Amino acid sequence: MGAQQVADRFAELYGAAPEGVWAAPGRVNLIGEHTDYNDGFVMPFALPHQAVAAVSRRTDGVLRLHSDDIGGGVVQLGLADLAPGTDREWTAYPAGVVWALREAGHEITGADVHLSSTVPTGAGLSSSAALEVVIALALSDLYGLGLPRWKLARLCQRAENVYVGAPTGIMDQTASACCEQGHALFLDTRDLSQRQIPFDLAAEGLRLLVVDTQVKHAHSGGEYGKRRAGCEKGAALLGVDALRDIPYDGLDAALARLGDEEEVVRLVRHVVTEDQRVERTVALLHAGETRAIGPVLTEGHASLRDDFRISCPELDLVVDTALAHGALGARMTGGGFGGSAIVLAEATDVDTLTKAVQEAFAAAAFTAPRVFEAVPAAGARRLA
């Protein structure tokens, strides 16, 4: 959706042109899954799919929200009434951002918002973070808050954790706020230090496919929370602040100390090996050995499937079929229980691979998947 279209629709809805138009992308996580709430490493990149919002300030303590992508008209909320846990609709995401900004002491006196997004929802591509970050950036700009990107991400995470009630880590919001075109973002979620890693697959004759299984995950559902609690239990049993503090070469000793806590053992093993996979991926990309990251991605999938246990038959089918048809690597991406998988492949294998996955889904009587190529795009920015 172009900036002009979104601005035009804003003017139709609210009777005047918006003060500005902003965009924030969805993301794909290349490697580093379920590490962000363990103070570990992640490596997302931004998608060309993005949320675009036209926004104007108000002075009367009113927030008006409209999404092109959701049925229903303009929703009007009073800023004084915003309170965590009171809204179960989509409006909780933008309202939560306004709440978090105000709670942090920023004087927001109201806003009119119209938005439209091309990020598929519930597909593991972070439509929620795109929505939060586009609102946060717009308000930071309009109200002259000058918030650095990492801080915007923190406020958005707070909105999602506290206001919406979804216990997500910091990756999605940071990816949407901080990614750069042509790069993956190597993020240390402990101190939010970041490195932009050049990630230009096309130049090497490679492609990264996203396969949206169309199986909708439910993020605030209990399974995510259970994994998170299990990781916290592991850290407590091992006497560390977070699983990040277990070094890879100390993993066996740590697992031995956990004894018969079988579930915690599996969770800890995933998180510690996954952090190491992120570091290996960064090292391989740095060395120009892009094809060699394929097996690392595939290992990550096995760990999520067998140890973390958050895959599903559709995701496994994508990975198995892709690998059987020449993919260099493949894995589920995002929170799990549905959503999307990524496939790293030679450009010349893409057509065969895509067809094979589609046929396998048809043979299994699964809903047809949506396949698209992911090229690292720009992070959040002002469009007009």
Count of residues binding Mg ion (CB under 5 A)?
1
Q: How far apart, in whole angstroms, are the C-alpha atoms of residue 58 and residue 151?
A: 23
CA angle (286 as vertex; 281, 289 as ends), nearest 5: 70
Site residues for ligand ADP, window 83-102 (CB under 6 A)?
90, 93
| Sole window of 40-48, 90-98, 120-128, 360-368 interacting with Mg ion (rule: CB under 5 A) | 120-128
Q: How far apart, in whole angstroms, are the C-alpha atoms of residue 214 and residue 281?
A: 28
N residues, the chain: 384
Shortest separation between residue 160's beta carbon and Mg ion, angstroms: 7
Of the candidates 313, 331, 312, 309, the residue with the CA atom closest to the CA atom of residue 265: 309
Residues with catalytic roles: 172
Q: Token pair of 213, please?
A: 């299984």
Q: Token pair of 243, please?
A: 């699983």
Count the Cβ atoms, other than its own, within 10 Å of residue 204: 12
Query: Can you list the positions of beta strands (E) in the chain?
Result: 20-29, 41-42, 44-57, 62-67, 75-78, 110-117, 183-188, 194-198, 206-212, 329-333, 340-346, 370-373, 381-382
| Binding partner selected for residue 145 from ligand ADP, Mg ion, none, CB under the kind-specific 5 to 8 Å limit | none
| Binding partner selected for residue 94 from ligand ADP, Mg ion, none, CB under the kind-specific 5 to 8 Å limit | none
Residue number of the CB closest to Mg ion reads: 128
Site residues for ligand ADP, window 178-217 (CB under 6 A)?
none
Binder to ligand ADP among 35, 38, 127, 161 (CB under 6 A)? 127
- 192, 170 Cβ separation under 8 angstroms: yes
In the three-class reduction of DSSP (H, G, I as helix; E, B as strand; rest coil), residue 123 is classed as coil
| Binding partner selected for residue 93 from Mg ion, ligand ADP, none, CB under the kind-specific 5 to 8 Å limit | ligand ADP
Site residues for Mg ion, window 343-372 (CB under 5 A)?
none
Site residues for Mg ion, window 122-161 (CB under 5 A)?
128
Backbone angles phi, psi at 111, to 5 degrees: -165, 150
Binder to ligand ADP among 38, 56, 117, 213 (CB under 6 A)? 117
| Binding partner selected for residue 131 from ligand ADP, Mg ion, none, CB under the kind-specific 5 to 8 Å limit | ligand ADP
**Judged by CB under 6 A, does residue 126 bind ligand ADP?**
yes
- Output the known binding site for ATP: 67, 122-128
- Output the known binding site: 33-36, 67, 122-128, 160, 224
Binder to ligand ADP among 5, 109, 121, 181 (CB under 6 A)? 121
Q: What share of the chain is helix, strand, coil (3-state, %, to 5)?
A: 45, 20, 35
Binding residues for ligand ADP (CB under 6 A): 67, 69-70, 90, 93, 117, 121-128, 131, 219
Residues that bind Mg ion (CB under 5 A): 128
